[in-house]
Structure 1
Amino acid sequence: MIVAVPMFLQSLDTSILGTALQSIATSLDVEILHLNFAITAYLLSLALFLPASGWLTDRFGTRRVFCSAVAIFSLASALCGVATSITQIVLFRVLQGLGGAMMVPVGRLILLRSIPAAQLVAAMVWFTVPGAIGRVIGPLLGGLIVTMGSWRWIFLLNIPFGVLGILLSLKFVPDSRPEKSERFDMTGFILMAIGLSGIVCGLETVGRNFVPVNVTIGITAIGVLAMIAYGLYSRGRLDVIIPLKIFGYKAFCITTIGGMPLRLAVGSAPIFVPLLLQVGLGLTPVQSGLMSAWLSVGAFGVRPIMDRAIRKFGFKPIMMLGAAMTGATFACYGLFRPTTSIGLMCFVLFAAGIVNSLAMITMNTVGYSGIPKTLMSKATALSTMMQQTSISFGVAVCASCLTITAQVHGHGADHLVIDDFPMTFFVVGTFTLLSVVAFAGLPKEEGQELR
């Protein structure tokens, strides 16, 4: 529960930010979709620094890196709380991403190194509980904050939780590191950083008027070429920052790459569901927060039965069912209208929370099946990097779809209406079904040692 504090901080930060976007945009006098830069900057920063988290943990120890990460995240949150422009928020969110890049994978690594395999499912379920609590209280808390006070408190709230996490970690979290750490692979780190930043930044500018089309194509091409160069550079090597050999483990490959469409939908929901409720349906931040909370109530409520369900049915059937239903419920958001019953919308959000949780917990647990301990730190870094990159793709894709749809309807993205939203949810919901196809390739007995 202590190492899950970062999950709480990140979930609280994301879910609160979703309900406060409109207030921040009004306060800073910027277009609401321009705040997508603040979201994407954080996710991009995560993706950039995550590859180094495995090496840092092996070099300096799990407890020291974990506490340092929480401290950086909390400091950056404080700076975001006093920012006076969108540029400052973006810069401070990059710093926040540096801390976040080390928090979650190191916390997961601590569990994988200290929990017996037979108890790992239960441990992973509890590991996600604080994150679910953050998502439950975040939307309502964000709505109350922007209604009764200033949006700046959505960032300042992270500070006391960060201090508590550091104090508890220093007292209770075990410290571990290999006897000998490898050299830092600077070449691999630079290639991967250029590759990820180029691809994500290129996608971020698709369908916008921020930069010319040829600049978007150039940035994306540089990113793709850098990732190809990293693949050639790291082929057959184990001393690189992220060995691609890890993808040779079937469960890890399927859940990491095949699970990207699923993570795209789950990761973008906390941002774009509140946006739909406030901008599209005209609800107040408090009303939006109360409704969005049902998404997390469902995710939290299913956790007590997860361990028993996995033991009875196995990982594969639950993953496939969860992914299919996640795509269906995400598409249902596009059917929300001002005339739709509040009760029906809350039920859809509650059901979405349940199926999201079913898919994500099983996927994030079975993915480490069969990976040796010597590669575990780099596997957790790679997995978290792919997860966060998927979320950044999700945010960028949804924002781009909204922008394009608004332009088709004859107005700008600064004047979104309810008819601009359906296509975004339909497209992403349908895309999620690709994960179902990928999960079908998982051997039925995979993860047997974890049940």
Structure 2
Amino acid sequence: MTTIGGADPAQPRKADPRLVAAIVASALFMQNLDSSAVTTALPAMARDLAVEPARLGAAITAYLVALTVFIPVSGWVADRFGAKRVFMAAIVVFTTASVLCGRATGVPELIGARVLQGVGGAMMVPVARLLLLRQIRKEEMLGAMAWLTMPAMIGPISGPPLGGFLTDAFGWRSVFLINVPIGALGLLLVAWKIPAVPPGNPGPPDRLGLFLLGTALALFMFGLETIGRGVVPEGMSQAGLVLGLMFGWAAVRHCRVAERPALDLSLLRIETFNQSTLAGSLFRIGAGATPFLVPMLLQVGFGKSASEAGLVSFATALGALAMKPLARPILRRFGFRTVLIGTALLSAAGVAVAAFFTPAWPLPVIFGLLALGGLFRSLQFTSLNTLAFADVPQARLSAATSFSGTAQQLAPALGVVLATTTLEASALMAGRHALAVPDFGVAFLVAGAVVAASAPFFARLAPDAGATVSGHLAVPTAKRLPAE
């Protein structure tokens, strides 16, 4: 039987899967850390470059648009040139672009470098997951994915306090230049320890599909990242969203009939991939609002300093770290279906409880509750990332990683939009021109409700879904779509 990782059990192992996961995760941590640390440095960057801070929002938008647009083609590129080679090239591109960002003397130069960073990040994230999946057996997947999930949990949370420290101590350019030693070390470890994956012949790329999908994602992400910020003329953000949806509709119609589509929608016929991607996106949208809301509440609502807010927000990362060794035995004992339903509801409660925070609450209590919420969300993310590929045939891993990466990139952005829209609507309904603590309470309750809404979809999974990965049942019977 062919394993999901494509490795023959009879062949000697070339590398410990945990080592491969740790090396790959270190590169992903760099990418996640950078994307969140830059936000903290924006005011200092604006002062140094003599522009309004709002104009520098384009530097964040350009990165996210490039990142999202190039993810769909990453699977084809990895198959065509080899996953290890592409991953190493992505680290080089990302690190070089970081140097260019750190040396930028004007806004256009900075935006151009950020676009190049986004291209490197787009190749890095899904190709890293593909590289790992091709090196492991199915029974090793759960432990490896627990390692791979950590950057997504820790990077966005540790980025703001680290970005603030680096900016205050060494200047905003250090936020980008810190990637140089991390990238160099990651490149050496990948070259030394990770076995090569030979290139294949995936056939010609779906150029029309990539154009439609890339245009849709670019316009939609542009609209999401600029709406309500005042960085573009009025109405342009809304036009971007509408045009993005139109191009997206055309892309879906094309991909449903194309022979080798840019986005393989037939993957959604695999039950475990379907629920992990679609219901998982619903969970990620609600959970994605939390890293934005917590520091905002602490600073705007409670008057805490940026460093205090950053340290309290880091509690979520500590909870995620504590869950890493517990994920395997919990999933073995209860199975994916029960764990996904349970952690969705517990995570929803963890998000909603923040609605009741007031300035009178002791910070250690808030810290403890956030850490507990991070514990449940970490288990949920590990479960989602593992289950998504549990029944995907080896020949379709590239398409699955591209599909999953695109969905995972969109969800946190939608989470921020959910948070900002709810905050503004709450303040408007209360007749306030400035945000107040009650507005954050409404936003946390709405985000918690979105997280909880994913639980009924997870309930549709078979009781033995992903059993060959979790080991929950003695005889796995999870349905699998035959390889094509």
Normalised by the length of structure 1, the TM-score is 0.90
Of 450, 457, 462, the match for 1:438:
457
Counterpart amino acid of 1:253?
Answer: N
Aligned partners of 2:388, 2:330: CA distance in 1, in Å? 17
Counterpart amino acid of 1:440?
Answer: A
Task: Report how far residue 60 of structure 1 moved.
Answer: 0.8
What is residue 375 of structure 2 aligned with on the other side? 354
Change (3 A) 1:363 1:270: same
* Comparing 203-212 and 253-262, the one that deviates more: 203-212
Change (3 A) 1:283 1:153: farther
Aligned partners of 2:192, 2:85: CA distance in 1, in Å? 12
**Larger RCO of the pair (alpha carbons < 8 Å, separation 6+):** 1
Contact persistence 1:138–1:293 (CA under 8 A): no
Aligned partners of 1:266, 1:88: CA distance in 2, in Å? 34
What is residue 80 of structure 1 aligned with on the other side? 101
Contact persistence 2:69–2:214 (CA under 8 A): yes
Of 325, 335, 340, the match for 2:346:
325
Task: Report how far residue 343 of structure 1 moved.
Answer: 1.3
Show the 5 A alignment for 1:371-410: 371-405=392-426
Show the 5 A alignment for 1:24-39: 37-39=58-60
Alignment gaps of 5+ in structure 1: none
Which has the larger Rg?
Answer: 2
Of 208, 233, 239, the match for 2:260:
239
* Comparing 188-197 and 38-47, the one that deviates more: 38-47
Aligned partners of 1:337, 1:91: CA distance in 2, in Å? 42
Partner secondary structure for residue 114 of structure 1: coil
Of 200, 214, 218, the match for 1:193:
214
What is residue 427 of structure 1 aligned with on the other side? 446
Contact persistence 1:66–1:107 (CA under 8 A): yes
* Comparing 202-211 and 388-397, the one that deviates more: 202-211
Contact persistence 1:139–1:293 (CA under 8 A): no
Counterpart amino acid of 1:263?
Answer: R
Show the 5 A alignment for 1:175-194: 175-194=196-215
* Comparing 30-39 and 438-447, the one that deviates more: 30-39
Counterpart amino acid of 1:399?
Answer: T
What is residue 368 of structure 1 aligned with on the other side? 389
Of 307, 310, 335, the match for 1:314:
335
Partner secondary structure for residue 65 of structure 2: helix
Task: Report how far residue 223 of structure 1 moved.
Answer: 1.6
* Comparing 238-247 and 122-131, the one that deviates more: 122-131
Task: Report how far residue 280 of structure 1 moved.
Answer: 3.0
* Comparing 236-245 and 27-36, the one that deviates more: 27-36
Counterpart amino acid of 2:250?
Answer: A
Aligned partners of 2:459, 2:347: CA distance in 1, in Å? 16
Normalised by the length of structure 2, the TM-score is 0.84
Aligned partners of 1:8, 1:161: CA distance in 2, in Å? 10
Of 164, 172, 180, the match for 1:159:
180
What is residue 163 of structure 2 aligned with on the other side? 142
Task: Report how far residue 247 of structure 1 moved.
Answer: 1.4
Partner secondary structure for residue 24 of structure 2: coil
Counterpart amino acid of 1:446?
Answer: A
Task: Report how far residue 134 of structure 1 moved.
Answer: 4.2
Task: Report how far residue 137 of structure 1 moved.
Answer: 4.7
Counterpart amino acid of 1:162?
Answer: G
Identity %: 36
Give me the CA root mean square deviation. Answer: 2.8
Contact persistence 1:146–1:285 (CA under 8 A): no
Contact persistence 1:139–1:290 (CA under 8 A): no
Aligned partners of 1:87, 1:336: CA distance in 2, in Å? 41
Task: Report how far residue 291 of structure 1 moved.
Answer: 1.0
Partner secondary structure for residue 184 of structure 1: coil
Counterpart amino acid of 2:344?
Answer: A
What is residue 334 of structure 1 aligned with on the other side? 355
Contact persistence 2:71–2:122 (CA under 8 A): yes
Aligned partners of 2:442, 2:238: CA distance in 1, in Å? 24
Alignment gaps of 5+ in structure 2: 1-21, 471-484
Aligned partners of 1:81, 1:410: CA distance in 2, in Å? 43
Aligned partners of 1:81, 1:243: CA distance in 2, in Å? 38
Aligned partners of 2:444, 2:51: CA distance in 1, in Å? 25
Task: Report how far residue 58 of structure 1 moved.
Answer: 0.7
Counterpart amino acid of 1:186?
Answer: R
What is residue 269 of structure 1 aligned with on the other side? 290
Change (3 A) 1:227 1:321: same
